[in-house]
Amino acid sequence: MKMTFRWYGSKADPIPLKYIKQIPGMTGLMGLLDKPAGVDWPEDEFRALVDEVHAAGLELEVIESVNVHEDIKTGLPTRDEYIDNYISTIKMLARNGVKVIIYNFMPVFDWLRTDLARVIPEDGSNSLYFDEKDLGAMGPLEIVRKTAEDSKGFTLPGWEPERLALLEKTLKQYEGMTPDDLRVHYKYFLDAVIPVCEAVGVRMACHPDDPAWPIFGLPRIAHSIADYDKIVALHDSPANTVCLCTGSLGSNPDNDVPAAIRHFGQMDRIGAMHVRNVKYLGHHHFREASHLSSTGDLDMYAIMKAIHDTCPDTYVRPDHGRMIWDEVGRPGYGLYDRALGAAYLNGLWEALERA
């Protein structure tokens, strides 16, 4: 297992690489270049990032994310140009030491919450929160406006300004599209990129829908074991993998997260793991908890054991943290609680190794 940390680059992330390196057991990053979906990433800029990360004593073997352009997801004729750019980016990343590319195939919205800083009454910290009842009153444009307002000036992954500028147009493109239609577009994309990945030694890892159910009537195709079975079958290859996010899949209590890890781990189809905990508050209603099992509803020991038993070489990052100790930072991506999460997950790992 390689413990990694999500980082947004020195211009966009207030957390210095030095601090990340000081978290015990941290081997590297899940990093990115801040480029809009569809763009061919410039090699000189990426090389500079790699050099900066290496100089800090960290690795950059996982990229999160190279976003997929909406024209690819909606199957427009313009998709081929964007797929060519994606392929060129894959080759460039491989030349520079990248092993895994995390992405998602969610229409329009990446992840969605109704409150980015819900106070946890027990201890006064705050975390990301979702209640479908609150969403009921808001349309997609309103939730976007609210999320932007609440993000404290940070660009949130999946909520990039260029994506939001096209929101109304994009939403229209999905009208009438079924999950099967979306899978047809997905297969077209995978058939083009996966052979390239095989040739250059990179694995694509698809992030699940978050939360793990359909929203705003949009087709969503990655929120259960059955969904993921279909995705890995769309183009059967060790390069076509999942980024198994415990908190996203686990937002639906019907998903047995350790079982999902074992299932895809045994198939060698886990490219990366996001590990975090959720606390269920009702139907389609949850908040994010600290990583410690007893503060939420997911069994972190069972999760780490499933990784240990079936995909022990995978990349793991402590996913979203709460905001604690009055830290001001990107919602979900502060330093302190994610560092505590990493230390705790490393502790579970040490116990598993020794047992």
Smallest gap, in angstroms, from Cβ of residue 246 to ligand DNO?
11
Contact status: 293 vs ligand DNO (CB under 6 A): no
CB proximity list for 155: less than 8 A, separation 6 or greater: 8, 12, 34, 161
Nearest Cα residue to 182 out of 76, 75, 37, 110 = 75
Pair 250, 286: CB distance under 8 Å: no
List the one residue out of 127, 152, 151, 166 whose CA is nearest residue 38. Answer: 166
Nearer to ligand DNO, 334 or 352 (CB): 334
Burial class (CB in 10 A: 0-12, 13-18, 19+), 18: exposed
Residue nearest to ligand DNO (CB): 65
**Smallest distance from the beta carbon of 350 to ligand DNO, in angstroms?**
26
Q: Hey, which residues between 146 and 205 contact ligand DNO (CB under 6 A)?
A: 157-158
Q: Is 61 in the site for ligand DNO (CB under 6 A)?
A: no
Q: Contact between 110 and ligand DNO (CB under 6 A)?
A: yes
How far apart, in Å, are the Cα atoms of 46 and each of 9, 50, 102, 202? 11, 6, 16, 16
Q: How far is CA 227 from CA 178, 266, 351, in A?
A: 14, 17, 33
Q: Which of 8, 82, 103, 174 binds ligand DNO (CB under 6 A)?
A: 103
> Which of 46, 103 has the CB closer to ligand DNO?
103
Among the candidate windows 17-25, 104-112, 296-304, 322-330, which touches ligand DNO by CB under 6 A?
104-112
Q: How many Cα atoms are found within 13 Å in the side-chain-facing hemisphere of 97?
A: 16
User: Does residue number 207 form part of the binding site for ligand DNO (CB under 6 A)?
Assistant: yes
First and final C-alpha spacing in the chain: 16
* CB nearer to ligand DNO: pick between 24 and 272: 272
Answer for the pair 206, 222: CB distance below 8 angstroms, yes or no. yes
Structure tokens belonging to residue 156: 């949130």
What character string, x for contact with ligand DNO (CB under 6 A) and - otherwise, covers 256-285?
------------------x-----------
Size of the site for ligand DNO (CB under 6 A): 14
Of the residues 74, 89, 104, 346, which one makes contact with ligand DNO according to CB under 6 A: 104
Beta pairing partners, 126: 119, 323
Binding residue for ligand DNO, selected from 111, 174, 189, 264, defined by CB under 6 A: 111
Q: Which is nearer to ligand DNO, 113 or 266 (CB)?
A: 113
Closest approach of ligand DNO to the CB of residue 95, in Å: 22
The binding site for ligand DNO (CB under 6 A) comprises: 64-65, 102-104, 110-111, 157-158, 207, 245, 274, 320, 332
